[in-house]
Amino acid sequence: MIINGANLNLLGTREVEIYGTASLKQVENLCRKKAESMQWSIDFRQSNAEGSLIDMVQEAQNKCNALIINPAAYAHTSIALRDALLNCSISKIEVHISNTNKREKFRHNSITAAAVDGVIIGCGINGYILALEAIALMQKNS
């Protein structure tokens, strides 16, 4: 499952100098293409609501082999999402499109990052593809 948090539905028009011009649909298509080449199926989701993201993480635990999550701003604020991730035992990668370390101080800390296996930051939308590859390698080597 690939989960996208708040405001990522606006990708392509939102702060394009930071996030680029690709829409979330284009990101989804990119992920689908990559997943197909790996013979994986993906469930690609987005919500602006913290509780819905938590429900998705709980669902992924029961249904999926791995989870990629861009929590968006909830990475910096949500103890509840972190708790949900801690309770989710499948392979988990957090992705941020922008390099949050180069941005405002409040973006430097991710509360959720300690609850996942790895984090990919600042590689643009390719971060999602790198996350798929990282999961494949992690699962191959475990």
Of 70, 78, 91, 112, the residue at the interface with ligand DQA (CB under 6 A) is: 70
Tell me, yes or no, if 128 is annotated catalytic. Answer: no
User: Per CB under 6 A, which region of 39-47, 51-59, 83-91, 97-105 contacts ligand DQA?
Assistant: 97-105
CA-based nearest residue to 117, from 52, 73, 59, 65: 65
Tell me, yes or no, if 96 is annotated catalytic. Answer: yes
| H-run or E-run covering 23 | none
CA-based nearest residue to 119, from 139, 104, 141, 99: 99
User: Per CB under 6 A, which region of 32-40, 51-59, 65-73, 77-85 contacts ligand DQA?
Assistant: 65-73
Residue 24 interacts with ligand DQA (CB under 6 A)? no
Q: Which residue, 42 or 75, has its beta carbon nearer to ligand DQA?
A: 75
Pairwise CA distance, residues 77 & 110, whole Å: 8
Residue 72 interacts with ligand DQA (CB under 6 A)? yes
Q: Which residue, 72 or 111, has its beta carbon nearer to ligand DQA?
A: 72
Q: Give buried/exposed letters for 58-76 (b at 16+ CB in 10 A, else e).
A: ebbbeebebbbbbbbebbb
Please report how close the Cβ of residue 62 comes to ligand DQA at its closest, in angstroms.
25
Helix (H, G, I), strand (E, B) or coil at 67: strand
Which residues, 6+ apart, have CB-to-CB distance to 139 below 8 Å?
Answer: 65, 66, 91
Please report how close the Cβ of residue 100 comes to ligand DQA at its closest, in angstroms.
5
Residues that bind ligand DQA (CB under 6 A): 7, 70, 72-73, 75, 96-98, 100, 107
Q: Which residues are catalytic?
A: 19, 96
